[in-house]
Structure 1
Amino acid sequence: MFEIRVICDPADTDRVSHALAAAFDTDPARQYPTRDGKRARLYVTADHRPEPEPWPTPEQAYTLAPSIVSEIGWTARTAADGPFYDGLNREFWLRKAALLDRIALSDEADSAANDAADLATRAAQRLMELDGTAVICAPRYYVRQQYAAWAKNQ
């Protein structure tokens, strides 16, 4: 654990605090004026983030997944039955993104050229937006990680 001190313009304190929180595991910033009162002093107790676990392979992520045909049916029924398509239902977006990822993977294995990979990436980005994640990675890797964790708890 370590302490970070930043002296900055008061208008930049939120931006600096968010940047530090993105880079480190931080406690809330403590803010004080400088002696001249023109700038702000931020004190942040921080620690290094733990090393992330390796991304699961598609085989690991989708071991417990139902068949693609079954997931297509579930996704279509869920989209038709309720307000789940408005982006508020995480399970819907997770399963949809995983389904599209699995379709794209099968197309890649067959060397088929279509837009499945693009659709899978866009659905994965939607899930990341919904989760409010700041993870910097390939969106489809994120879906595999999240799906593996979700499937394990079902």
Structure 2
Amino acid sequence: MFEIRAITDPADADRVTAALSAAFDTGPARQYPTRDGRRTRLYVTADHRPEPTTWPAPDQAYALAPSILSEIGWTAARARAHLHGQPIDREYWLRKAAVLDRIALDEETATRPRTDATEMALNAALRLLEIDGHGDGNDPHPDPRGYVRQQYATWAKNQ
């Protein structure tokens, strides 16, 4: 994070602030007159914009994934184990979000009637983001299901 100071004609202050906001991730601009009162001093707290994330395509992310039925069985077994005192861990939420994403993808490309698979996949993705510390509902993630694919591809490669 850094501070930008600009001295400009008062008529140009909004244009300069807008240009800085377009180039950087900025906070609100603070404006003060210069000592002579003819120009405006702008102070803006700024940071570099994060690089856009490229999410893996579904076929790439799930290339090493077991069948959907196998994953449903695995998540169901983990859910049953939770009823008997075993904790639900990140792997469970990752695999559950991934299998729901795969089901939703199949449905989104099919011509049959829609179910709530897309909504369920999104909710599971948001839960994974929450577990990973990337979401509290106030700052929406740009692509929750893309995040699931990224995390699943990394996890599957390391298994």
What is the identity, as a one-letter code, of the residue corresponding to 1:70?
S
Q: What's the offset of the Cα at 1:86?
A: 9.2
Which residue of structure 2 aligns with residue 70 of structure 1? 70
> Residues 53 and 86 from structure 1, CA distance in 2 versus in 1: closer, same or farther, beyond 3 angstroms?
farther
Secondary structure of the 1:82 match is helix
Number of residue equivalences: 116
| 8 Å contact kept, 1:90–1:127 | yes
Stretches of 4+ moved more than 4 A in 1? 83-88
TM-score (normalizing by structure 2)? 0.63
Q: CA separation in 2, counterparts of 1:97 and 1:70?
A: 14
Q: CA separation in 1, counterparts of 2:100 and 2:109?
A: 14
Unaligned ranges ≥5, structure 2: 5-24, 27-44
Correspondence for 2:143 among 138, 143, 148: 138
Which residue of structure 2 aligns with residue 109 of structure 1? 109
What is the identity, as a one-letter code, of the residue corresponding to 1:3?
F
Which residue of structure 2 aligns with residue 94 of structure 1? 94
What is the identity, as a one-letter code, of the residue corresponding to 2:92?
F
Aligned identity (percent) is 56
Which residue of structure 1 aligns with residue 122 of structure 2? 121
**Alpha-carbon RMSD:** 2.9
Q: What's the offset of the Cα at 1:68?
A: 0.3
Which residue of structure 1 aligns with residue 3 of structure 2? 4
Which residue of structure 1 aligns with residue 54 of structure 2? 54
